[in-house]
Amino acid sequence: MRDPTAFLGQEYADLVTNATDWKLRVLRGASTPWCEIDGKKVLMFCSNNYLGLSNHPKLKEAAIEAVRTHGVGSGSVRPIAGNMDLHVELERRLARFKRADASLVYQSGFATNAGLIPQLVGEGDLVISDELNHGSIIDGVRLSRADRAVYKHADPSDLERVLGTAEEHSPTYRRILIVTDGVFSMDGDIAPLDRIAALGARHGAMVYVDDAHGEGVLGEGGRGIVSHFGLSRSEVHVEMGTFSKAFGVVGGHISGTKELVDFAYNKSRTWLLSGSHPPPVAAACLAAIDVLESEGEHVRRLWELTRRFKKAMQSAGFDIGQSATPITPIIVGDTHRAKALSERLFELGVFALPIVYPMVAKDRARLRTIMNAALTDDDLAFAIRAFETAGRELQVV
């Protein structure tokens, strides 16, 4: 009898042959600059923990206290019986931090995009997406019944062309949504959101930005890309983000008008049908906002280290693309070569994973490094030496 699951093993074997499979490594203990990965002490260089907050004492203390007062779980989805005072306070504080009328917390960043985008646009609408947008945006767009268009990466001129074509569509589109990453996670470049917002206003389109990698990094005090460009809520209608990167915890969120939030929690099935955050998670997210508002040194340190690392990589001859943020890709091209560079760095004591197809183009394999404000000067010097050594040995530089 034919095995209907035979394709599983075959397709995985093909991934291994093409060096496009993921081999999961095990982190023992906390996500700190020096940590234990697969039993080896290494310097973490690929975590999203930009500001080192995942191990910050204030976040840990807040989480522990929340377990004492609220337990370890909420017991329900938020529309029924899982809407705790911690969740309400978190959204109030987040809106204040974002300087928005209201905010809404989702279970994850992926759930935010996958749950909200299909509700904002549907049949008779158009969604226009940057060609390098995150997979969660792509899936959110696919879940909608809207027509779809793609514009060239971070190219306002091409976006204007697409918008012009859309205006000639018959019948006229009910709604048009422009959606873009704020910081592109594989290249570290920044979307020209000011020009995108201007085009949206000119053509009557909604503007949605996924700022997962901009929060805690860009803008005043790490408030993100909307702050970075000095834009208003009438120019950027949906500012989406996540607590799982610079905030050091987990969860997605949106900020904007009260009408947006009321619409979102009534319409997003990923929000309506998922259990709410455990109390210690919500409390730790609140503490992260406190830290960002009161300890500005973390963001300043992140950028100081970022500038030094980029300068060293360029001086050594590495290709770091167009990165303008603490995400610094080390682009090598060939998938096998990227994996070899990662393995050699691991031997030298630096953990930096390869990013390969389909997450990037087949000829654009790379190591994606992400700076961490908790690194010391000695840590950074150690990492630079390791990259220079491995790069020379493998003839990458």
Q: Note the pLDDT tens digit of each residue in 311-364.
A: 999 999 999 999 999 999 999 999 999 999 999 999 999 999 999 988 898 899
pLDDT top residue among 19 and 167:
167
Q: Indicate the SS3 state at residue 369.
A: strand
> Is the pLDDT at 190 greater than 90, yes or no?
yes
Q: Which candidate, 113, 142, 144, places its Cα nearest to that of 208? A: 113
- 275 has which bridge partners? 77
Angle at 183 between CA 270 and CA 351, to 5 degrees: 90
Pinpoint the residues of the chain covered by CATH 3.40.640.10: 57-294
CB atoms within 10 A of CB 294: 9
Q: Average of pLDDT values for 290-304?
A: 97
Q: What is the pLDDT of residue 23?
A: 86
Average of per-residue pLDDT values in the chain: 96
Q: Indicate the helix (H) or strand (E) that contains 256.
A: strand 252-256
57-294: CATH number = 3.40.640.10
- Residue 224 near residue 236 (C-beta atoms within 8 A): no
* CA 253/CA 13 separation, integer angstroms: 37
Chain centre distance of CA 41: 26
- Per-residue pLDDT of 122-161, as tens digits, reads 999 999 999 999 999 999 999 999 999 999 999 999 999 9
Helices (H), the chain: 6-17, 57-70, 85-98, 109-120, 135-143, 156-167, 193-203, 225-228, 258-267, 269-272, 279-294, 297-316, 335-348, 377-393
- The CA-atom distances, in angstroms, between 364 and each of 234, 281, 396 are 37, 36, 13
Mean per-residue pLDDT for 366-373? Answer: 97
- Give DSSP secondary structure letters for 271-293: HHTSBPPPHHHHHHHHHHHHHHH
> Per DSSP, what are the bridge partners of residue 147?
126
| Residue 15 structure tokens | 């991934």
Question: Which positions are catalytic?
Answer: 185, 213, 245
Give a three-class secondary structure readout of 179-247: EEECECCCCCCECCHHHHHHHHHHHCCEEEEECCCCCCCCCHHHCCHHHHCCCCCCCCCEEEEECCCCC
pLDDT above 90 covers a percentage of the chain that reads 95
Contact 292/97 with Cβ under 8 angstroms? yes
**Using CA atoms, how far apart are residues 285 and 180, in angstroms rounded to an integer?**
25
The pLDDT assigned to 90 comes to 98
pLDDT for residue 22 is more than 90: no
Q: pLDDT tens-digit profile of 154-185? A: 999 999 999 999 999 999 999 999 999 999 99
Threshold 0.85, pTM exceeds: yes
Tell me, what's the pLDDT at 20?
82
**Alpha-helical runs (H) found in 146-192:** 156-167
Q: In a 10 Å sphere around its CB, with 0-12 CB exposed, 13-18 middle and 19+ buried, how is residue 9 labelled?
A: exposed
CB contact set of 54 (below 8 Å; sequence gap of 6+): 30, 31, 248, 249
Instruction: Write down the pLDDT at residue 357.
Output: 87
Q: How many CB atoms lie within 10 A of CB 234?
A: 11
* pLDDT at res. 362: 86
Q: CATH 3.90.1150.10 in the chain: give the residue spans.
A: 6-55+296-393
**What is the token pair recorded at 302?**
């992140």
Q: Given phi > 0 = left and psi -120 to 50 = alpha, else beta, which region is 317? A: left
Q: What is the mean pLDDT of residues 372-384?
A: 98
Q: What percent of the chain has pLDDT over 70?
A: 100
Strand-pairing partners, residue 190, are: 183
Query: What confidence tier does 1 reach under pLDDT thresholds 50, 70, 90?
Result: confident
Q: CB under 8 Å to 18, separation ≥6 — which residues?
A: 335
6-55+296-393: CATH topology? Aspartate Aminotransferase, domain 1 (3.90.1150)
Helix axes 335-348, 377-393, angle to 10 degrees: 130
Backbone φ and ψ for 210, nearest 5 degrees, come out as: -95, 105
The answer for residues whose C-beta is within 8 angstroms of residue 327's C-beta and 6 or more apart is: 183, 185, 186, 187, 188, 213, 368, 369, 370
